Amino acid sequence: ASSGILAVPIHGAPDEYLELPKESLPDDPTDIMQILASELAPLKLWLELAVSYYQQGRMEQFITVMETSTGEDGPFFQDYYKPDREGRIALLNCLAAYNTQLAARSKKTEKKSQHFAIATEHYQKSDKIDPNIALTWCGKGLIHMAKYATPQSGSRAPGRGDQNEHLDKAGDMFSNALACDASCIPALLGKAAVLFNKRNYSQSLEVYKQVMLLNPASPPPVRLGLAHCYAALGRTARAKKAFERVLKLSEDNNVEATVALAIIKMNADPDESLNPIEKERFRQENIQQAVRMIWGAFKASVDNQGNAMLLNHVANHCIFRNELEKAEEKAKEAYFSTGVKRMRAESCYHIARAHHIREQFDQAQKYYDHATFLWPDYLLPQYGLGQCYAHAKKWPEAIACFDKILKVHPASYEARKMMACVCARSGDAAKAQEHFRRLVDSEKERRVDEEVWIEMAALCEAAEA
């Protein structure tokens, strides 16, 4: 039978089928469900009918078919279908996956928890039928991945332990799936995602390669994971080729690949044979091309209103163009369109920058602070937060911010310069001199910074007075 046809076998009449075109499924699925019931159609056909409605975006009909097939009066509980363990598990797992999707998309904590609970319940029912089904374990792994990406509410503490626990549990679930079926591609993709989020980029890359060997015709999202691994490992040339391959294979404009290529272009180093003026021209041209790529992706994306990554990049470039109201607008759209903590932290950072440029320091401090709460390892808002504290003459708080940056990036010239200035203003001349001297030592590879020498001279004068 054609994939566009729902072929229902006539009960008691071998090799005879009732063919129903999927493209013209009725708005009310009752009649078709009655046909499936009267012909004792396999459970996989109930699922095929539901999925056909889902693929057409007809959610009401999808839910009706799923709830009818698994309800008390549906085929799921009939003795005739008891031997069809595979069909019963497939129905339960489909409902569970759908509720996981609803949970991930929900903005309300209570609704999110309800959908997660329903999904977990369906997977537990599947386990009772057969505990060794790889896709059931994959589904449970995806629940933990979705919970890992969910911002915690309530406590002001970072709470990274609970989130990392979800990542560990997801890894365990995908490992269990692979124990059931070593070539289960969804489980391998889940394992690769867990490794990537744990920053084990080399291991994640190897798993993605394993998937490519199992299925050389893997869809663009799989190749996208491969490309991100190369990028994270600093293998820029490989990453560029992989992102370009994603774009070539994508039917529509792939936003993630386009933005990634724009970032690669923006960060490209000019050839050493160029003179300083040519190098600067190269950088400026690349930045302009990258911005055009990002704006092009934004305009071409039908889902640009819900793509937090893209909206954040647009907000960033609006700031560079001094379009501060538009930057704040896009950053807020990004914040409310995602539940991913790091994405939300980046949105808060851009909102804070817009306020900072307007010299609205209280508002800027609030958003910088929230960005660091959502993502404690995110250092860019720490710099802005330190500046806000310095403006308010809250020296200990400012020093703490710059200290966090310098512990991770001890060679950061701007962070050390701010640290030296704040120490000087707070009255800690010895610490200020120490930081200023380190800045002077680093001037071998950069131009002389007059401000640093002036600050050092002032400290020396004060010490001699």
For residue 338, the model assigns a pLDDT of 82
Structural contact between residues 254 and 246, judged by C-beta atoms closer than 8 angstroms: yes
**Section 145-156 average pLDDT:** 68
18 secondary structure, DSSP code: E
For residue 440, what pLDDT band results from cuts at 50, 70 and 90? confident
First to last CA, the chain: 96
- The residues spanned by each domain of the chain are 408-464
Amino acid 431: pLDDT: 87
- The half-sphere exposure of 148 on its side-chain side, counting CA atoms within 13 A, is 19
How far apart, in whole angstroms, are the C-alpha atoms of residue 130 and residue 423? 65
Alpha-helix runs per DSSP H in 42-180: 43-55, 59-70, 85-105, 109-129, 134-148, 160-180
pLDDT digits 0-9 by tens, 355-388:
999 999 999 999 999 999 999 999 999 999 999 9
CA-nearest of 409, 360, 427, 348 to 387 is: 360
Residue percentage of the chain with pLDDT more than 90? 62
Pair of tokens at residue 87: 């069909």
The residue-averaged pLDDT of 410-437 equals 87
Cα distance between residue 144 and residue 162, in whole Å: 11
Under 8 Å between Cβ of 365 and 388: yes
* pLDDT band, residue 442 (cuts 50/70/90): low
Residue 156 has pLDDT above 60, yes or no: no
H helices of 220-254, in order, are: 220-232, 236-249
Out of 239-243, 316-320, 394-398, 455-459, pick the least confident. Answer: 455-459
Sign of CA dihedral 79, 84, 90, 93: positive
C-alpha 333/C-alpha 350 separation (Å) is 12
pLDDT of residue 287 exceeding 90, the answer is: no
pLDDT for the residue 4 = 87
445: pLDDT strictly greater than 90:
no
Tell me the mean pLDDT in the region 429-443: 79
Q: Of 330, 329, 319, give the one whose Cα is nearest residue 357.
A: 319
pLDDT band of 1, cuts 50, 70, 90: very low
Four-CA torsion 341, 346, 351, 353, nearest 10 degrees: 140
Helices in 267-394 by DSSP H: which ranges? 276-300, 308-320, 324-336, 341-357, 361-374, 380-391
Q: How far apart are CA 292 and CA 255, in angstroms?
A: 13
Mean pLDDT throughout 79-84? 92
Is residue 135 predicted with pLDDT exceeding 90? yes
Is the pLDDT at 22 greater than 60, yes or no? yes
Pair type for strands 17-21 and 5-9:
antiparallel
**Whether this model's pTM surpasses 0.85:** no
Q: What is the pLDDT of residue 74?
A: 87
